[in-house]
Chain A
């Protein structure tokens, strides 16, 4: 599966849900049985000095931590490896990792937390933090950030700011995964394009040359995933934004938005893309050398690396007036518990800190580390594709940290779908989706008590 996002319209299969629920239940049960047999030895761990330093050290009794995430793809083994290294270095903390599809995860975690059977620590995408903070699923982590001397200095500004909701920090940024520009090097060579096209003019010219060289449809424009990620990137490039300042209104139907979506639709109109490109077809076609250009997330680097395809990746070309690219970001979070266990909380913070510090290992899974110190290290520079896409870190953008923003985003996604398919004009589709989203945003403000 090429997707890597909570709002994907996939995998809600009942069977899979039940199976993973059973698996999670079993692991919780095991965690419950693990017990803390050494508890008396240290007097229950209520000791302020050992248990309250915000995640530097943990000296309390042995605890088990349930760590849930959605790393079902090639990234899973990397995280699992990190967890086992952590476990071997920290004898009194035993982290047990449970993996499930992101779509299931985002439905199950809140329910599990509400019933007091939630995990201790987890991973959440940056655009879901506000929703989960507002719904009392995750805990503020300001003390962790403080005591670990995690500060903006060591993080890219946008990534750092994105984890804040109502002046409180809810996520420790682990990585960012931006959209990238994949291209077939053999095609470019054959078409006589010597330089990767990074401007609109060069891009147009390259498409023409590719067509001339016999690559009839060099840039397949998908009507579903990741069309809306492309749209957001282009919208920002043309100087627009998704929402107004307080996210009470959608503003993607601005001139910038119309221009962005028209550019996407024109790929089809001008014959660079076949019409009706359905989900994953663009990527499958790219892997089969049917198209030359493909915009997709950084996570595809790991999949493409396994092929013999002549491919390379670059930052997104600048189609609009400025550089911009959509990105996601995994954040480490601590779940709210019905009955707080100071030891577990403290151990969880230690775990978060450790993972964050070892994010170079995570980068190898096809991610750009959130920490500047790691991103600028020689070790990261050596990761060819990741370091190229990391160049975008200064201008990546995320949807705003507003609870329930996914509801409005879904309307935008449907509008992009309609326009790319040619069912509606870009302006009409965006206008319609914006007026509907305004109502949803208003409802959400009421609901989440903004």
Chain B
């Protein structure tokens, strides 16, 4: 064994810690209890609900078997038609927002990782929108983006852009607005995670690459990107999940308009379950959405897995 490696082995535990596995479970217990009550139990209960025509307040909650799921597969039913339209809306939003929310924050993080005057100020500026609640940014942008009385169109017209772009009431502008607002709002969060990842990459690697004659791009491609891999997987996964769960922005800014074109899956599920009191159908929708998200998350995970050889 080379001396360096031996020196790094500071100490070797002689035996297993007292209590063995039991102690580990004891430490895990608080989390497990919360997890069981607030995740596992509701999820299982939700499956049960999805097999019924379920209204919390009606004495009869008739068993309907797979009907709620069957309705979702049949787009001629109200639930099925609405659901796939909402899934499509969620899909469109995710396809456009995820790449932007993966790439732009990385660029911002790379810049903010440089040494320059006022760096901390800019770090704060980019993160600032994220501390606002969705209600705040929703009301804010509804007014800013209003097609007829909004500030955005007012200035766009001054610089000669087409008149009265319908940011909140027509396609594709509604999607441009929703994706744009979301990127502005959450960019800072991803940037901070990237920044932490960047600071974890040892400086020696960059020096070694420089010595070997690697260009700036080469160093980014062969040092930064591999060094960020775990962070990248994390960012991509949570961004996909966050985009797929988009609700507040559409609820407040477009209200689903035009028609129900920008009504996302979560928005529909909330309406179906909490406003129209069809909890069984809403639960079925949730599970179908959950399966989709699991598949997408797994695909992401495999796409980023370490390639051998």
Q: Which residues of A contact B (CB under 8 A)?
A: 7, 9-13, 15-16, 107, 110-111, 113-114, 134-137, 220, 223-224, 274-279, 281, 284-285, 288, 290, 404, 406-407, 410, 414-415, 417-418, 421, 423-424, 436, 439-440, 443, 447-449
A276 to B248, CA, bound (A): 21
Q: Are B147 and A278 in contact (CB under 8 A)?
A: yes
A7 to B255, CA, bound (A): 12
Set B58, B148, B259, B270: member contacting A274, Cβ < 8 A: B148
Q: Are B57 and A223 in contact (CB under 8 A)?
A: no
A13-B135 contact, Cβ under 8 Å, with A136-B57, A414-B260: yes
- Would you give the 0/1 interface string for B236-269, flagging 1 where the beta carbon is closer than 8 Å to chain A? 0000000000001001100111111000000000
Query: Which residues from B are CB-within-8-Å of A113?
Result: 57
Q: Are B57 and A417 in contact (CB under 8 A)?
A: no
A417 to B81, CA, bound (A): 18
B182 within 8 A of A: no
Q: Are A414 and B259 in contact (CB under 8 A)?
A: yes
Q: Are A449 and B60 in contact (CB under 8 A)?
A: yes
Closest B residue to A433 by beta carbon equals B259
A110-B56 contact, Cβ under 8 Å, with A421-B169, A439-B77, A440-B78: yes
Q: Are A447 and B55 in contact (CB under 8 A)?
A: yes
Binds A, one of B36-44, B112-120, B218-226, B274-282: B274-282
Q: Are B169 and A278 in contact (CB under 8 A)?
A: yes
Closest A residue to B254 by beta carbon equals A278
A277-B148 contact, Cβ under 8 Å, with A223-B257, A418-B259, A423-B258: yes
- Distance (whole angstroms) from the CB of B55 to the closest CB of chain A: 7
Q: Which residues of B contact A (CB under 8 A)?
A: 53, 55-60, 77-78, 81, 133-135, 142, 146-149, 164, 166, 168-170, 248, 251-252, 255-260, 270-271, 274-278
A-B contact pairs, 7 of them (CB 8 A): A13-B134, A275-B147, A423-B170, A439-B78, A447-B55, A448-B58, A449-B60
- Distance (whole angstroms) from the CB of A377 to the closest CB of chain B: 39
Q: Are A278 and B146 in contact (CB under 8 A)?
A: yes
Set A11, A224, A406, A421: member contacting B275, Cβ < 8 A: A406
A185 to B142, CA, bound (A): 29
Known: A10-B251, A10-B252. 4 other contacts (CB 8 A): A13-B134, A276-B148, A278-B169, A423-B170
A406-B147 contact, Cβ under 8 Å, with A12-B270, A414-B259: no
For the residues of B in contact with A, the DSSP-based class is: loop
Query: Which residues from A are CB-within-8-Å of B260?
Result: 414
Q: Are B275 and A110 in contact (CB under 8 A)?
A: no
A276-B58 contact, Cβ under 8 Å, with A224-B255, A421-B258: no
User: Which 10 pairs show the lowest CB-CB distances between chains A and B?
Assistant: A276-B166, A135-B57, A276-B147, A13-B135, A276-B169, A418-B259, A9-B255, A278-B168, A407-B276, A421-B258
Q: Are A107 and B275 in contact (CB under 8 A)?
A: yes
Query: Which residues from B are CB-within-8-Å of A288?
Result: 149
A290-B133 contact, Cβ under 8 Å, with A406-B276, A423-B259: no
A276 to B256, CA, bound (A): 14
A288 to B166, CA, bound (A): 21
A274-B274 contact, Cβ under 8 Å, with A13-B135, A421-B257, A423-B258: no
Q: Are B169 and A13 in contact (CB under 8 A)?
A: no
Set A9, A290, A417: member contacting B259, Cβ < 8 A: A417
Q: Are A417 and B149 in contact (CB under 8 A)?
A: no
Q: Are A9 and B169 in contact (CB under 8 A)?
A: no
Q: Are A9 and B164 in contact (CB under 8 A)?
A: no
Interface centre among A7, A136, A423 (most CB of B within 10 A): A423
Q: Are A7 and B147 in contact (CB under 8 A)?
A: no
A285-B148 contact, Cβ under 8 Å, with A12-B251, A15-B133, A224-B257: yes
A15 to B58, CA, bound (A): 28
- Distance (whole angstroms) from the CB of B151 to the closest CB of chain A: 13
Closest B residue to A291 by beta carbon equals B148
Q: Are B55 and A13 in contact (CB under 8 A)?
A: no
- Distance (whole angstroms) from the CB of B123 to the closest CB of chain A: 26
Set B134, B135, B271, B277: member contacting A135, Cβ < 8 A: B277
Q: Are B256 and A9 in contact (CB under 8 A)?
A: yes
Query: Which residues from A are CB-within-8-Å of B147?
Result: 274-278, 281
Set A9, A114, A220: member contacting B251, Cβ < 8 A: A9
A274-B57 contact, Cβ under 8 Å, with A417-B259, A418-B259, A421-B170: no
- Distance (whole angstroms) from the CB of A295 to the closest CB of chain B: 17
A279-B255 contact, Cβ under 8 Å, with A16-B135, A274-B148: yes
A136 to B77, CA, bound (A): 28
Q: Are A135 and B164 in contact (CB under 8 A)?
A: no
Q: Are A447 and B58 in contact (CB under 8 A)?
A: yes
Q: Are A107 and B276 in contact (CB under 8 A)?
A: no
Query: Which residues from A are CB-within-8-Å of B270?
Result: 12
- Distance (whole angstroms) from the CB of A248 to the closest CB of chain B: 15
Query: Which residues from A are CB-within-8-Å of B276?
Result: 404, 406-407
Query: Which residues from B are CB-within-8-Å of A13?
Result: 133-135, 248
Closest B residue to A446 by beta carbon equals B53
Interface centre among A13, A111, A415, A448 (most CB of B within 10 A): A13
Q: Are B275 and A114 in contact (CB under 8 A)?
A: no
A107 to B170, CA, bound (A): 30
Query: Which residues from B are CB-within-8-Å of A443?
Result: 78
Query: Which residues from A are CB-within-8-Å of B164?
Result: 274-276
A146 to B277, CA, bound (A): 33
Query: Which residues from A are CB-within-8-Å of B81?
Result: 436
Query: Which residues from A are CB-within-8-Å of B251?
Result: 9-10, 12
- Distance (whole angstroms) from the CB of B302 to the closest CB of chain A: 33
Query: Which residues from B are CB-within-8-Å of A277?
Result: 147-148, 169
Closest B residue to A1 by beta carbon equals B139
Q: Are B57 and A278 in contact (CB under 8 A)?
A: no
- Distance (whole angstroms) from the CB of B88 to the closest CB of chain A: 16
A291 to B299, CA, bound (A): 53
Q: Are A281 and B148 in contact (CB under 8 A)?
A: yes
